[in-house]
Amino acid sequence: MPDVLEARLLATVSRLAGPIRGAGVVLISLFGAFSLNSPLGWSLFAAVAVSTVADFRLPRVALPVAFLRVVVLSVVLGAGADQWVLTVLTTTLITWQWQWPPKVSVPATAALLAVQVVTTGPGVLVRAVLESVLARLSYELLRRSSRKVDLLRERAAEQSRAAAIALDQGRREREYLALLHDTAAATFLMAAHGGDPEEVAAQARRDLVVLAERGNAQGTVDLGAALTAVARDSAVHVRVEAEVVPVPAGVALQFVRAARELLTNVERHAGTTEADLTVTRARGAVVVIRDGGRGFVPAEVPEHRRGLRGSVVGRLEAAGGTAVVESGPAGTTARLEWTAGD
């Protein structure tokens, strides 16, 4: 988040510095003209009043105009009206610190003080330098304070966002638990009471689809258990070695469909009735399906045959994973991988 308050506050101070200087110089010069009460004093007051147009309306030339204004007062009045000149000088130097950065204000301040020393003597240095330094310090303190306020506002906004995300996540979890109760819990109950294995397997597949599609893939499924059920339901005799691998329901659904397609291909094309299936956990999930059939050449599979490309590779890629199928005379190996996000 950008430093909104700091930028706005400093822009406002910079914008008001010119008018403040102009109004202050006019008021000071009015009192100075009254104190002199001479044609020269009133002429200088008129010239000062005209010059403040730059402070109010022409910020790009305000600095050189203010510089010349102080120089003219110093040269014309000299030591005869030192308070008038000194007050205009310090007002100018203070507002310069608010309006321009140090790379501009410091050289201009040094040049103006040098002129003052030449025209009126070194007596102005202590007060002018002290007030200039204090003005710059007050500006920097204001800048740091506004920056701290911006940081506090940013942290408060982050905490509000985190609270909103936690609230939404809690709502989603409650909805998912209710969905889980209506699907998987009922299937477990059916299995516990000796339900028909084929009906239980079919119901479990339907539950997985519902959890993935309606649950917005927020819940997790044990991929090892899901693929063990697929192997048990296959016409091929599958030797299974499966770890407990929790993955999002949507990812599990893609693995289940891809594994079912691969086992169907073994049944139809491999010339063997056996296969091996392993499920391991490694920063996600790794599933390997092997058979010792006659194999094939993947590059020679016709384009219109979409089984491997669409039902295996495409599904894993859609879930954010990868699928690699290697085949030869010694058999076929399919490696399906999915890496969990941070």
Give pLDDT tens digits for 76-98. Answer: 887 656 788 888 888 988 988 88
Structural tokens at position 48: 């000062």
pLDDT of residue 217: 47
- Judged by DSSP in three states, 258 sits in helix
Residue 211 lies in a domain: no
1 with 109, same domain: the answer is yes
Residue 193 lies in a domain: no
| Count of domains for the chain | 2
Alpha-carbon distance of 277 to 273, in angstroms, equals 13
* 115, pLDDT greater than 70: yes
Question: What's the pLDDT tens digit per position in 155-191?
Answer: 877 787 777 777 766 665 555 555 455 455 555 555 5
CA distance 169 to 270: 46
Using the 3D structure, point to which of 121, 150, 180 is the last residue of a domain.
121
Euclidean distance between CA atoms 70 and 73, whole angstroms: 5
- The bridge status of strand 331-339 relative to strand 322-328 is antiparallel
The answer to whether position 207 is within a domain reads: no
Considering only CA atoms, which of 162, 150, 68, 153 is closest in space to residue 108? 68
Q: How confident is the model at residue 286 (pLDDT cuts 50, 70, 90)?
A: very high
Question: Are both 5 and 114 inside the same structural domain?
Answer: yes
Q: What is the mean pLDDT of the chain?
A: 79
- What integer pLDDT is reported at residue 215 of this predicted model? 46
Residue 294: inside a domain: yes
Among 150-159, 316-325, 333-342, the range scoring the smallest mean pLDDT is 150-159
Phi, psi for 101 (deg, rounded to 5): -70, 165
Residue 162: inside a domain, yes or no?
no
Contact 212, 250 (CB under 8 A): yes
| Domain final position from 86, 121, 156 | 121
Q: By mean pLDDT, which of 14-23, 88-97, 204-213, 278-287 is the weakest? A: 204-213
pLDDT tens-digit series, residues 23-40: 999 999 898 888 888 898
| Domain end among 73, 93, 121 | 121
Overall pTM surpassing 0.85 (yes/no): no
Strand partners, 324: 335
Distances (CA, A) of 56 to 14, 110, 338: 12, 24, 66
Residue 186 lies in a domain: no
CATH number at residue 267: 3.30.565.10
What is the domain range of residue 77? Answer: 1-121
Instruction: Residue 336: name the closest of 267, 295, 282, 300 by CA.
Output: 282
Q: What CA–CA distance (Å, rounded) separates 293 from 2?
A: 63
**Is 19 part of a structural domain of the chain?**
yes
Residue 326 lies in a domain: yes
Binned at pLDDT 50, 70 and 90, residue 1 comes out as very low
pLDDT of 216: 46
Q: Give the residue carrying structure tokens 């706005």.
A: 8
DSSP SS3 for 339: strand
